[in-house]
């Protein structure tokens, strides 16, 4: 009599793989995972719940909520979480900057009851210089600002261009109008600027050495190739990585005399600043339609081979690429997506999930897929699962570590914390079933062509 042999699966470290035929998957790979963690030692378990970091909504629910980024403002003894929303032309409605010391968020104001107005659709860009936070509000805003934790209001900075500061005179109180800013090589850098009545979308500019509020007119580089506009800037191993829509450059050196621009690729790039993030050992970025990449000192590596079919088969809503964000939290890359998870043939019209990449698992890293639980919103309407966007790591004043990301649902405008494994449900909405996490792991097909014959 024939007797079926059973296989016991102990290794799940291959993660999800959409590329291989189900009959060709490795034993440790899956064609579908939802809300399951992959243990580097081989096991799987349900992810930790998402929890609200604060009690009150950032904005009034169901109003304009276009969250674009979080920033870790490492102010001594009293660190802050900065949150920015983006400008929207419908209305129009200016973006804002909010601040929290770990509890509820408040608006950052330039004067009494006057929130600073963000004019960039991608939100404000932040750069810390010692204890001071410099904030680029977008090139369409007439002045950039700076702020120090504890100050009641921000301080306006006059636009450099038409007024410049020669090296022999120095100066303070200036910052070019720009979309992006970052601290690097003892200078403040800005990119995608507006100077003296003219937009320079392909320009990157730097301040005087050790003088972030003084700018020499000739200290800039225009990068023309790779599409219109510098879309993101990150620091990698002491060098500046500059992203365009279809090009990536490395700015090497430390001053105007030594700067060298090195072209890394003219094939891939990013469209939005939130699509590039610094992580352990390098920078992750997302290119559409080619996917997720990683830059380190060895070059550019494609991480997306196993997920590429989700783009090739139109399961990602390409009209919502502005919701695709790269976040690096707790040593893992979180990629938000408007993705047709169950292959229904209808793409979602919002960001509904996160692909989570753990580079420590196996020789190539592993992907899994997370989605928030279904919940009731403030209108008592059943809300399907969402993805989280624009995450960061942050430490509070007690040095406790938090892994934070934004819930982009306008009916639930909160910052959530993740990877706290004591939490077994999602802190969303109300009701007996709200917050219950649905989790699945689907194995590859097994062949039943092996059997034994009893004697």
Residue 189: CB atoms within 10 A of its CB come to 23
Provide the 3-class DSSP secondary structure of residue 169: coil
Domain positions in the chain: 7-62+272-455, 123-271
Q: Where are the alpha helices (DSSP H) in 298-446?
A: 309-312
φ, ψ of residue 319 to 5 degrees: the values are: -85, -5
Angle at 89 between CA 159 and CA 276, to 5 degrees: 70
Which residue, among 201, 287, 191, has the nearest Cα to 233 in the 3D structure?
A: 191
Q: Tell me what pLDDT residue 382 has.
A: 62
H or E segment to which residue 355 belongs? strand 353-358
pLDDT of res. 436: 83
b/e 62-101 (16+ beta carbons within 10 angstroms → b):
eebbbbbbbbbbebeeebbbbbbbbbeeeeebbbbbbbbb
pLDDT of amino acid 452: 45
CB of 26 closer than 8 Å to CB of 16: no
CATH number (3.40.50.10790, 2.120.10.80, 1.20.210.10, 3.90.1580.10) of 123-271 reads: 2.120.10.80
Q: Mind listing the pLDDT tens digit of every residue in the chain (455 residues)?
A: 455 556 667 778 889 999 867 778 888 889 999 999 988 887 889 999 999 999 999 999 878 899 999 999 999 989 999 999 999 988 899 999 999 999 999 999 999 999 999 999 999 999 999 999 999 999 999 999 999 999 999 999 999 988 999 998 888 999 999 999 999 999 999 999 999 999 999 999 999 999 999 999 999 999 999 999 999 999 999 999 999 999 999 999 998 899 999 999 999 999 999 999 999 999 999 999 999 999 999 999 999 999 999 999 999 999 999 999 999 999 999 999 999 999 999 999 999 999 999 999 988 899 999 999 876 655 545 667 899 999 999 999 999 999 999 999 998 999 999 999 988 889 886 544 467 898 998 887 765 554 444 54
CA neighbor of 327 nearest in space, from 96, 69, 51, 47: 69
Task: Specify whether the CB–CB gap between 418 and 388 falls below 8 A.
Answer: yes
Question: According to the model, what pLDDT value does residue 432 have?
Answer: 43
Check residue 11 and give its pLDDT: 79
């Amino acid at each position: 009599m024939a007797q079926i042999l059973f296989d016991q699966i102990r290794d799940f470290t291959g993660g999800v793989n959409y590329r291989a035929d189900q009959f060709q998957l490795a034993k440790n790979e899956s064609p579908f995972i939802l809300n399951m963690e992959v243990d580097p030692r081989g096991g799987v378990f349900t992810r930790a719940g998402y929890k609200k970091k604060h009690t009150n909504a950032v904005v009034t629910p169901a109003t304009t909520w276009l969250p674009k980024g979080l920033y870790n403002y490492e102010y001594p003894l009293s660190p802050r979480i900065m949150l920015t929303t983006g400008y929207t032309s419908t209305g129009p409605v200016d973006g804002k900057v909010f601040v929290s010391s770990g509890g509820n968020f408040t608006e950052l104001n330039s004067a009494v009851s006057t929130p600073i107005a963000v004019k960039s659709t991608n939100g404000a860009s932040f750069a810390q210089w010692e204890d001071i936070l410099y904030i680029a509000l977008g090139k369409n805003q007439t002045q950039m600002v700076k702020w120090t934790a504890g100050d009641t209001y921000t301080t306006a900075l006059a636009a450099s261009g038409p007024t410049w500061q020669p090296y022999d005179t120095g100066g303070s109180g200036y910052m070019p109008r720009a979309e992006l800013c970052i601290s690097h090589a003892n200078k403040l850098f800005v990119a995608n600027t507006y100077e003296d009545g003219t937009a320079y979308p392909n320009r990157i500019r730097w301040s005087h050495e050790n003088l972030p509020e003084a700018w020499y007119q000739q200290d800039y580089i225009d990068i023309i190739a790779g599409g219109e506009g510098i879309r993101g800037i990150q620091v990698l191993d002491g060098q500046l990585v500059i992203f365009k829509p279809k090009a990536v450059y490395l700015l090497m050196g430390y001053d105007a005399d030594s700067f060298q621009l090195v072209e890394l690729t003219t094939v891939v790039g990013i469209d939005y600043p939130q699509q590039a993030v610094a992580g352990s050992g390098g920078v992750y970025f997302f290119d559409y339609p080619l996917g997720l990449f990683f830059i380190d000192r060895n070059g550019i590596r494609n991480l997306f081979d196993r997920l590429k079919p989700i783009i090739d088969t139109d399961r990602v809503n390409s009209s919502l690429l502005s919701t695709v964000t790269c976040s690096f939290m707790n040593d893992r890359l979180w990629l938000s997506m408007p993705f047709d998870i169950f292959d229904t043939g209808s793409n979602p019209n919002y960001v509904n999930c996160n692909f989570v990449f753990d580079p420590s698992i196996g020789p190539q890293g592993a992907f899994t897929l997370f989605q928030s639980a279904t919940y009731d919103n403030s209108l008592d309407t059943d809300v399907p699962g969402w993805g989280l966007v624009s995450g960061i790591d942050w430490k509070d004043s007690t040095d406790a570590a938090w892994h934070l990301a934004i819930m982009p649902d306008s009916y639930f405008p909160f910052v959530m914390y993740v990877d706290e494994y004591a939490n077994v449900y999602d802190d969303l909405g109300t009701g007996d079933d709200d917050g219950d996490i649905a989790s699945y792991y689907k194995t590859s097909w097994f062949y039943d062509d092996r059997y034994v014959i009893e004697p």
